[in-house]
Each structure stands twice: as structure tokens, then as C-alpha cells.
Amino acid sequence: MSALMPTYARQPVTLVRGEGLRVWDDEGRPYLDLIGGLGALSLGHAHPRWVAAVTGAAAAIGLTSNLVTTPPQELLAARLASRTIVKDARVFLCNSGAEANEALLKLVRKRGLRDRRPTIVVLEGSFHGRTVATLAATGQPEKRAPFEPLLDWFRFVPPGDLDALDEALAPGDVAAVFLEPVLGEGGVVPLTAAYLRGVRARCDDADALLAVDEVQAGSGRAGSLLSIEAANVSPDVVSLAKALGGGLPIGALVAPAALSFGPGEHGSTFGGGPVPCAAALAVLDEIDESDLLANVLEMGALLRAEVARLAPSGTLTDMRGVGLLLGFEAAPGIAAADVVDALRGRGVLASTAGRNTIRCTPPFTIGRDEVDEAAKAFAMALEEVAA
């Protein structure tokens, strides 16, 4: 029996090695990895540039804490500040998406309390993390219920409903609207550009911040550094993680200088360490120099098209997503978990996002051959489960 807490319904496979888009289990069997570390493995396994950056940083200096700075930390903060369309940006570096969102919530709450606006509007169906504050902000009651009562900062509204947002903003007590441009754990559901622009306009009218969780869809996974860029919307505050580190734990909060934390208001012993910062810089360099954002868009569109072409009739009801954050909704009577099991039997690893959605978050380096292999495996898996 494993000594690990059963916090995940783990797939029955033990992985020991990876290279590019492939991983191998402890019996030597290869798999095409469409999980990609739940979206964190932006460059694939053992990418040479990433490995060189990580080993070089680890050989140069150990953890320094944040009582001093290091070149990788300063360089990464500058890169993110200049590229995330947040005006006059400053960056707080941490270790995960939940930590980045926790920092974000503290920051907007601090600003709101200054103006006697303690409330944060969040979306039903959202997922922001498993810490106490991020769980309280998560719009999935079944995840909150075992731990309630939680923080009472949040007011929930349905995604896509601007009338409901107007009603939530009407009391005049809202510090921020906090949302994922693509609801990841909520089923890979992109919010429309019209809705996002409507939220931005209403935040401006209400003097509320627009705070955006780009943990899952950001750092290039949508084909742009921030997924919200496609809507031509500029957020006030942004959280990043997952794909940013290419496989090492790192998160980032990007906010205007006027909103920044001061000394002692927030912190992290490990956040912004030289090794994960070097990894993130390698990811950004490879994205730029190998034109990976174009590949994300091209391969994401191709995977959707090929699955649509090959899937047996009536087995899928929807295909959603942006770039290489994709969700394939199984028809009623077909459980996503069963499709994932059937895919694994054909040498392809995928995950679920809710009961009926099969989620694919492969590395940005995926090519046509892997897309073809994945689509054929999807078709066979769906046929098997539907039989």
C-alpha cells in the first residue's frame, strides 16, 4: 500500500522516464503524453535548452531566500512585467498557481478594504486552487462543501451573464471581478470575447479591478502569453503558473506598482529561486526563438479537426478550448474517465475535467505525427467505450 495520501485518483501507471512527447513506465511501455503535467510541461520532457538552464542554475548557486536578489529572478520579473499587458507592472514570484492566486486575492482585498469594498465577484464553475482562500473563490460547491464555512469574501455569478454581473456590482461593495478566461477544471469552457469586454467595461464603471487567473490557459498555452489577449482586453492583475516553469514549480502575480505589496505584507521562502526562474526564462526563450505560439495554435486546431473527423458519430457532443488547452465532451452515457482509460490502453495519456470532458494539455512542441497518433487513438477509444 502506498504511503502517499490519496489526494488524486491516480491512473494505474508508474512513469520512470520521458523524452519530448513520450514517457515510459516501469515496464518499458511508451506513452504519448497529452497530460503534459496537467499543462505545466510546456517544452516536453528533458528539453535540451530547459535541462541546460536548470542544471546550470543549480550548479551556480543554491536557494538564497528573498532577503537578496539573483539575476534569474530579476530577469524573469522584467520579462513578465514587459509582456503581460499589465500597466506599470511589478511581479511577485511564488511556487504554484494556488499561491499566485492566494497572493492575488490578498492584494485585491487589500485595495478593496481601503475603499470599504470587501467583496470579490467570482464565477460559478471556476477553479482557482485548493488553499483556503482559493477554494472559497472556487465556483464548484462540491469542492468547497467538506471545508465550509470558508471565507465570506466572494459573490458568485454565472459565467457569460452580464446581467447577473450588473446585479452583483450594484451594491457598490466590489473590489474586483476575478475570473479564468477559460474555465479549466470547470470543463475547458472559454468565455466569449464579448463577455470579457463587457466585464472590463463594467469593472471600469464600478471602479473595480479585473483580476485574471491565467494559471491554466496562460504562459503560451492559448497561443499567446495570456489567453485574454484574444479578446483585446487588458486586465489589472494577473496570475500565472503551470506552463511558465516547463516542469518546475513556479507561479507569478503581476500587478501595477501602485497596488504592490510592501515589505512584510506577503512573502515566500522558495518563491523566485534561481533554478525555477532559470527554467522559466528558458521556456520564454524557446517560445520566442522556435515560434512555439504559432505551433500551439496550428497543432491545437489540427487536433480538434482530426478528432472531429475520426470520432465515431454520436460519441462527442462538443469540442472546446483554445490553443493546446482542449476539452472533448463525451456524449451522455459515455464517462470521460472510461475514455481516458481506453486511451491509456492504446498508449496515450489524457486527463478529465469534470465527468464528461476529456482534457488534453500536451507540450507546445507537439507535431503533426503526434496529433495524427492521438486522433486515431481517440477514435478507437471512443468506439470501444461506446460499444
Q: What is the CATH number of the domain that holds 369?
A: 3.90.1150.10
Cell 466590489: give the residue: 174
pTM, 2 dp: 0.96
Q: Please check whether residue 24 lies inside any domain of the structure.
A: yes
- For the chain, what is the domain count? 2
Residues 125, 74 share a domain: yes
Q: Quick one: 129 and 219 in the same domain?
A: yes
Q: 245 and 377, same structural domain?
A: no
Same domain, 281 and 302: no
Does residue 127 form part of some domain?
yes
Phi, psi of 330 (to 5 degrees): -75, 150
| Catalytic site positions | 127, 213, 242
Whether 20 is in a domain gets the answer yes
Q: Tell whether 164 and 206 lie within a shared domain.
A: yes
91 in the same domain as 141:
yes
Q: How far apart are CA 184 and CA 181, in angstroms?
A: 9
Side-chain-side CA neighbours of residue 12 (13 Å): 4
Same domain, 200 and 74: yes
Tell me if 39 is assigned to some domain: no
Q: 219 is in which domain, residue-wise?
A: 49-289
**Which stretches of 61-154 are DSSP H helices?**
71-83, 97-114, 132-136, 141-144
Shared domain for 189 and 217, answered yes or no, is yes
Per-residue pLDDT of the chain (387 residues; tens, 9 = 90+): 789 999 888 999 999 999 999 999 999 999 999 999 999 999 999 999 999 999 999 999 999 999 999 999 999 999 999 998 898 999 999 999 999 999 999 999 999 999 999 999 999 999 999 999 999 999 999 999 999 999 999 999 999 999 999 999 999 999 999 999 999 999 999 999 999 999 999 999 999 999 999 999 999 999 999 999 999 999 999 999 999 999 999 999 999 999 999 999 999 999 999 999 999 999 999 999 999 999 999 999 999 999 999 999 999 999 999 999 999 999 999 999 999 999 999 999 999 998 899 999 999 999 999 999 999 999 999 999 998
